Chains A and B, each alone.
Chain A
Amino acid sequence: DVKVTQSSRYLVKRTGEKVFLECVQDMDHENMFWYRQDPGLGLRLIYFSYDVKMKEKGDIPEGYSVSREKKERFSLILESASTNQTSMYLCASSLYRDRVANTIYFGEGSWLTVV
């Protein structure tokens, strides 16, 4: 089975702190994604990556950055956490598309509270 592991399930951080959310997948997937989930808004894409050291902005990249130094690991960074970044963060991965709609696999999510 595909495993997408998010290192922290629950975090509480202070406003202004730098926050790292880590994600690791074990299936050699090329694509990795970070989504944010908020009630009434569904899931919104923050950043995605097609390969090591490659990244693309999603729909809501402001206030976030990402790092992908190794294929299996994709990190989301909040440079200076703010209360409006309190949310559930979901990491996901998938195989590189070959004219097929490949399934995207999700981790269990990281609940971040910024106080």
Chain B
Amino acid sequence: GDSVTQMEGPVTLSEEAFLTINCTYTATGYPSLFWYVQYPGEGLQLLLKATKADDKGSNKGFEATYRKETTSFHLEKGSVQVSDSAVYFCALMGTNFGNEKLTFGTGTRLTIIP
């Protein structure tokens, strides 16, 4: 079945550092890929998504590129801020008709220190 493997945390960085959170997936066909973010005490919010190979999703300075050849969707940001401290989830949605549920990775907790 479908699965998502993401970098284990926690990750602690200084403000303005470069961020990479790795995510790889296993799925048949061409799934859609997502990054969700969960701020303390809140539910999940969509951060960005990509629906086909070589697509780049971007939002709030974060980017991720759908790499079919490496089955990856790594999250990057050039200069992180304290407000980026949160838990980040990589997820995929399968391509089968009616299979519109998300399969999540285990989450990566990111802490940014001033």
Q: Which residues of A come within 8 Å of B, CB atoms?
A: 4, 31, 33, 35, 40-45, 48, 50, 58, 90, 92, 94, 96-97, 100-109
Specify which chain B residues have a CB less than 8 angstroms from the CB of A40 in the assembled complex.
Answer: 106
Specify which chain A residues have a CB less than 8 angstroms from the CB of B43 in the assembled complex.
Answer: 4, 90, 106-109
Which 9 residue pairs spanning A and B have beta carbons closest together? A101-B32, A42-B106, A106-B43, A43-B104, A106-B44, A108-B43, A42-B104, A97-B100, A101-B51
Which one of A48, A96, A97, A102 has the highest number of Cβ atoms from chain B below 10 Å of its Cβ? A97
A-B contact pairs, 17 of them (CB 8 A): A33-B101, A40-B106, A41-B106, A42-B89, A43-B89, A43-B91, A43-B107, A44-B104, A48-B101, A94-B100, A96-B100, A100-B51, A101-B34, A101-B93, A107-B43, A108-B42, A108-B43
Q: What is the minimal beta-carbon distance from A12 to any residue of chain B, in angstroms?
A: 18
Answer whether A45 and B101 are a contact pair too, CB < 8 Å, given A103-B46, A106-B45, A107-B43. yes
Q: Which residues of B come within 8 Å of A, CB atoms?
A: 32, 34, 36, 41-46, 49, 51, 89, 91, 93, 98, 100-107
Docked-complex contact B100 and A90, CB < 8 angstroms: no
Specify which chain B residues have a CB less than 8 angstroms from the CB of A35 in the assembled complex.
Answer: 104
Which one of B36, B46, B102 has the highest number of Cβ atoms from chain A below 10 Å of its Cβ? B102
A35, B107: Cα distance in complex, Å = 14
| Known pairs A42-B105, A45-B101, A106-B36 / 6 extra A-B pairs, C-beta < 8 Å | A40-B106, A58-B101, A90-B44, A101-B93, A102-B100, A104-B102
Q: What is the minimal beta-carbon distance from B45 to any residue of chain A, in angstroms?
A: 7
Closest to B100 in A: A97
Q: What is the minimal beta-carbon distance from A86 to any residue of chain B, in angstroms?
A: 18
Q: What is the minimal beta-carbon distance from B67 to any residue of chain A, in angstroms?
A: 17
Docked-complex contact A42 and B107, CB < 8 angstroms: yes
Specify which chain B residues have a CB less than 8 angstroms from the CB of A97 in the assembled complex.
Answer: 100
A87, B89: Cα distance in complex, Å = 18
Which one of A4, A44, A106, A109 has the highest number of Cβ atoms from chain B below 10 Å of its Cβ? A106
